[in-house]
Amino acid sequence: MINSLSGRFLILTVIFVMIAEVLIFVPSVARYREDFLLNRLERAQIASLTLLADDMIDSALEQELLQSAGVFNVVLRRDELRQLVLSSPMPGEVVATFDLRDATAVTLIRDAMMRLLTPEPQMIRVIGNPFQDGGLLIEITIESTELRAAIIDYGIRILILSAVISIVTAGLLFLAVRVLLVKPIKGVVGHMQSYAKAPEDARRVIQPSASVTELREAEEALQSLQTQLTQALKQKERLAQLGGAVARVSHDLRNILTSAQLFTDRIEMSEDPTVKRMAPKLVNSITRAVSLCESTLAFGRAEEPAPTLTLFNLAELVSDVIDSERLAIGEFDLSFAEDVPGNLMIRADPEQMYRVISNLVRNARQAIIGTGHPGEISVSARTSDESWCIDVTDTGPGLPKKALEHLFQPFQGGARKGGSGLGLAIAEELVRGHGGTLRLLKSDETGTAFRIDLPMGDVG
């Protein structure tokens, strides 16, 4: 109860109402003390007027008048003359004088609090203005005991009333909070718990219904989050199904390509010059296809296999990539440029680097052919102090906006219409596996440029 929102709100409400009542209590007590003293002044004035009307009042009647007024003596100033009208023996000396004629609120509050904090009986003098213009000044002497007792009694009644008001107010606010806040919040929590049981079920997505603006905004934000999560889970399920299908296709394709490898020996025995020139490239292509199928099967089980680092000639690998791409362009006016030092040796996985560069060059080739205009693709390489840098640039139309927004994310927008985006994602993962980076240098209407940075490390 105490740890709940409504419970804490109830406690805070009681505390705040009591603080407000205390702030009201102090001036209320001061006002009550002032009224008490003014009442004594009025009663003393009435008693003194009785004496003034008849000078022959005996001492017994004078004592009765003083006792009725609750004072020990009365001084009345009329026509600039100060006159002791009524008097009786006082039990002690006057220790304090209070003038109510020009007293400020601060003075009245201070005097009231001092009276509450002074339990000893004291004789005090009170000065005020006579009522109904009955003179210039009236002064009385009283004992503080009755005044203090009256103030305490009044204060207790005020505190009891404050407590009742606090309890009633807190109860009403408690009910209001339960209805307006706690109940809707529990409803949102219930929706979240229900959604957590089956997040793929779109029927469990919350439908905003709160009338409170802040709660409705929270429900709308939760609805958006749940909708996105449900869609992501569905996409993940589709990707899992696609992965299973790709694994099965790769398994069968690997068997087919393995059979094709058996026939390459016969082709290599041909005396045809063209066949002799093309046969090694065909063998290499089939070997890479088999390797890709095996890697795909491994990816379906876990992730991309770790690279096998070896030293190899980068120029030869780039030449193989470009030769394969030249076969794919046919008669289209597309040129290739290679700017790789012939003796540049790098340490990496040659099969994986072939796939990386091949993916980048293939994307560039497809983008340029898609425009129908001539173009050029360039692959260059250089060494820096700590890494090998390989740049793949083209004069194509640049990457689409969606591809730029989801760069290196599979199935989030390819570099060409109808593309899946897998090529760049795979290339980035392979480069990252080497401890390097694949980044986009530029992409606009003048073309696109990617850079591969591979750390050198220890090449000895």
Contact 365, 346 (CB under 8 A): no
Total number of domains in the chain:
3
Residues 291 and 270 grouped into a single domain = yes
Report whether pLDDT(347) > 90: yes
Same domain, 310 and 299: no
User: Tell me, what DSSP letter sits at residue 307?
Assistant: P
Under 8 Å CB-to-CB from 79, ≥6 apart: which residues?
136
Report the pLDDT value the prediction gives residue 460, as an integer from 0 to 100. 40
Helix or strand run (H / E) with residue 71: none
pLDDT-derived band at 310 (thresholds 50, 70, 90) equals: very high
Pair (296, 326) in one structural domain = no
Q: What per-residue string of b and e applies to 341-351 under the rule 16 or more CB within 10 Å gives b?
A: eeebebbbbbb
Q: Among the three residues 252, 285, 303, which one is the final residue of a domain in this structure?
A: 303
First to last CA, the chain: 71
Give domain status of residue 70, yes or no.
yes
Question: What rounded mean pLDDT belongs to the chain?
Answer: 80
22 and 103 inside one domain? yes
Which of 96-105, 233-242, 302-311, 338-347 shows the highest mean pLDDT? 338-347
Residues 17 and 154 both lie in one domain: yes
pLDDT of residue 408 exceeding 90, the answer is: no
For residue 379, the domain's CATH number is: 3.30.565.10
Q: Which pLDDT does position 415 carry in this prediction? A: 54
pLDDT greater than 70 at residue 391 = yes
Least confident of 40-54, 347-361, 444-458: 40-54
> What is each CA distance from 123 to 120, 177, 340, in whole angstroms?
10, 54, 113
Judge whether residue 85 has pLDDT over 90.
no
Do residue 290 and residue 412 come from a single domain? Answer: no
Indicate whether 182 belongs to any domain: no
pLDDT higher than 90, residue 162 = no
Cβ(222)–Cβ(191) below 8 Å: yes
If asked whether residues 129 and 203 sit together in one domain, one would say no
Task: With a cut of 50, say whether residue 177 has pLDDT above it.
Answer: yes
If one counts every other C-beta atom within 10 angstroms of the C-beta of residue 284, the result is 15
> Above 70 in pLDDT, residue 52?
no
For residues 119 and 171, give the distance between their C-alpha atoms in angstroms, rounded to a whole number. Answer: 37
pLDDT at 53: 57
Question: Among 65-69, 151-155, 383-387, 444-448, which is the least confidently predicted range?
Answer: 65-69
Based on the fold, state whether residues 242 and 256 are members of the same structural domain: yes
Is there a single domain that holds both residue 325 and residue 352?
A: yes
Among residues 247, 280, 303, the one where a domain terminates is 303
pLDDT digits (tens, 9 = 90+) for 368-387: 988 889 999 999 999 988 89
pLDDT at 450: 96
The answer to whether 347 and 458 are in contact (CB under 8 A) is no
**pLDDT computed for residue 302 by the predictor:** 43
pLDDT of residue 459: 42
Phi then psi for 142, rounded to 5 degrees? -135, 170
Q: Which domain holds residue 313?
A: 306-455
Pair 414, 290 in one domain: no
Task: Compute the residue count for the chain.
Answer: 460
pLDDT of residue 335 exceeding 50, the answer is: yes
Q: Over 60: is that where the pLDDT of 119 sits?
A: yes
Do 292 and 353 sit in the same domain of this protein? no
Q: Same structural domain for residues 20 and 159?
A: yes
Q: Is residue 346 a part of any domain in this protein?
A: yes
Give me the pLDDT at residue 274, please: 72
Can you tell me the distance from the alpha carbon of 102 to that of 130, in angstroms, rounded to the nearest whole number? 14
